[in-house]
Amino acid sequence: MSKAANKMAISLLAACFWLGCLSPSVYADVPYKTFTEDHHREFVRTQDAYTPVGSIEQIGNTAFSSPSDLYVDESDRLYIADTGNKRIVVLQPGGSLLRIIGQDQLSEPTGVFVDKNGSIYVADSGSKLVYQYDEQGKLLKKFGRPDSPLFGKNAPFKPVKVTVDKRGNLYIVSEGTTNGVVQLSPYGDFLGYFGSNDSEANLKIMLQHMFFTKEQRAKLFKNTPPSPTNLSIDKKGLIYTVTQGAEGRSIKKFNISGYNLLPENMMFDPIYSDLFIAASGNIYAVSQMGIVFEFDTEGHLLFSFGAPDDGKSRIGLFLNAAGIAVDSNEQVYVVDKERNNIQIFAPTEFTLQVHHALELYKEGFYVKSQGPWNEVLKRNSLFDLAHKGLADAYYKQQLYEQAEEEYVIAGDKEGYSNSFWEIRNLWLQNHLLDVFSIIVIVYVLWRLLKLLHRKTGAFRAIIRWKSFITNISIMKQLTFLFCFIKRPIEGFYGIKDENKVSALAAVILYLLFFAEYLFSLFYTGFIFNNLDFSDLQLSREVAIVFVPIALWIVSNYLVSTISDGEGKFLHVFKATIYSLMPYLIFKPIIVIASNALTINDAFLFSFANTIIMAWCAVLLFMMVKEIHDYTVGGTIINILITIFGMIIMGLVLFIIYVLLDQVYDFVYSVIKEAAVRAEYK
């Protein structure tokens, strides 16, 4: 029997035991939806990952009262901080009561932790102490407010959560402490603050510091960093913190230097209340609303499940989720502070399969994980992490083309780049000599054909045909674009004074510009293409391209009419698109070349695009100067006013759009109401 199957069997047996011992309310269906994330970090529906199997409502005849925290030790004993009853309840793995701790000593226990030696640490916010008990519940030590001057004379000490590392050092979340987590030695000595958050500096604060007097700044609210609200520790001794409301950085994983190792985009909920690090290293977090999130060790979301209570008091729904823990059978326990219970969730077969594949993957057994990942994909083909694991397995077997395909599905640009580099390197080794040979042959053949034509005139008909095509009026106007490569001033003179291009040619080039824009969206290399094709809307892309251009043309013309500009509207209309010559000529080449580049060559792609943008900006500057016959200073002023005018016109158009949208909604609702009334009559 496989390891995954063993875990599933154990989980089912444990679930049955809980059901028999605790007599919970069980439902055949799951009252919530389960999601995972794709490579765009958006929620994707998946099959149930965990199912509610029971709840613990009371011990004996005493119901829980505002339980705030819980912990599962290595022996799967469950420790519950029963805050309202001023006690710590310890349960056996089967659910039977083992002992009650601190009933006559604790005042308001809000956090509980058990170290590897079985010592039980309780954060008591009521007495402002941390209690240490032995495994039998005997009081060993109390940790009070540090008397070190480094702690701070006015620094508050109100322990709400606690954890302990392998050396016996305590990490305490103290309510109101903005310097970070309080770190104490096993003897109660203050070791410093750990894992502090950064204060947020915005434009308003910077302006206040620049222009306000010292007295005015003293009256402002201090820009203090948010305080951590919970914490946990993994088997390696790394500390994790939760900070409620910290945008983009609610969950952090600190190394010994205090550096955050997790990505800053784990912000799926602004009010995480607790987290727990399972033996596998997976991170389980729960939000106050009752949404449980399971992340892998690198911070990628595996599953999200649970929901706020809809008034039906069903298992799996929460009023105020306050704590979370996971046992060795991967069962999840969540404390609901308002419903005064602990809800229990068992992993499904799909989840155990994911965990099994992920365990092999994390240990570096990529090839062995291929089979389990394939099983995961059979159940859910949209599970991106499975595609990434499968791609790594192919890569290790040097099946680079298959790996490349899987990396594309998983959205893994780095993995794709590595696979493509191997494919490109192999191709160059096999064909580089052939490429050089073809280039030499083509060059020699070209020289021979030119020599043959010079002596015999063999290609006279072809040259006449070419001359005929290039002399067609519209073709001459379109190819006039190449004049702007070497002689841009002469080109603008030709547009303004010699009328060398027509409005039709300009319209064709504008359409070509949009076609090249779409071409770049679809055919830029995967490594450099961040487009989500599912969100692509043609109308939006048309607006993105043509609205700024239209605002520029109209605003520049209007500004020039009141600032002695000589250019007419048609001049600005035609000269603008010819100023975008670098994009029109060179952008398709860069797009095609991007498909032959890797991440190591990214500077070539970015540099080429920067050159195009800068070149277009220079030509637009020259266009304003030459079309309107301004000085350099006058050109700069004209461009700045033009940009300001574009902003004003954009705001006006937005206001008009909002008003028209409201009028449409009003008219539509009136017509709908009239239709309903007519139907009833």
pLDDT tens-digit map of 600-630: 999 999 999 999 999 999 999 999 999 999 9
List Cβ neighbours of 271 (8 Å cut-off, separation of 6 or more): 244, 245, 287, 288, 289
| Cα separation, 642 vs 644, whole angstroms | 5
What's the pLDDT at 467?
81
| Cα separation, 327 vs 343, whole angstroms | 13
What's the pLDDT at 490?
93
List Cβ neighbours of 633 (8 Å cut-off, separation of 6 or more): none
State phi, psi for 458 to the nearest 5 degrees. -65, -25
What's the pLDDT at 201?
55
| Cα separation, 587 vs 517, whole angstroms | 9
What's the pLDDT at 672?
82
Summarised one tens digit per residue, pLDDT across range 149-206 is: 889 888 889 999 999 999 999 999 999 888 889 999 999 999 999 887 766 555 555 5
Quote the radius of gyration of the chain (alpha carbons, Å): 34
Share of the chain above pLDDT 70, in %: 90
pTM score, two decimals?
Answer: 0.79
The residues of the chain scoring below 50 in pLDDT are: 1-28
DSSP 8-state symbol, 533: G
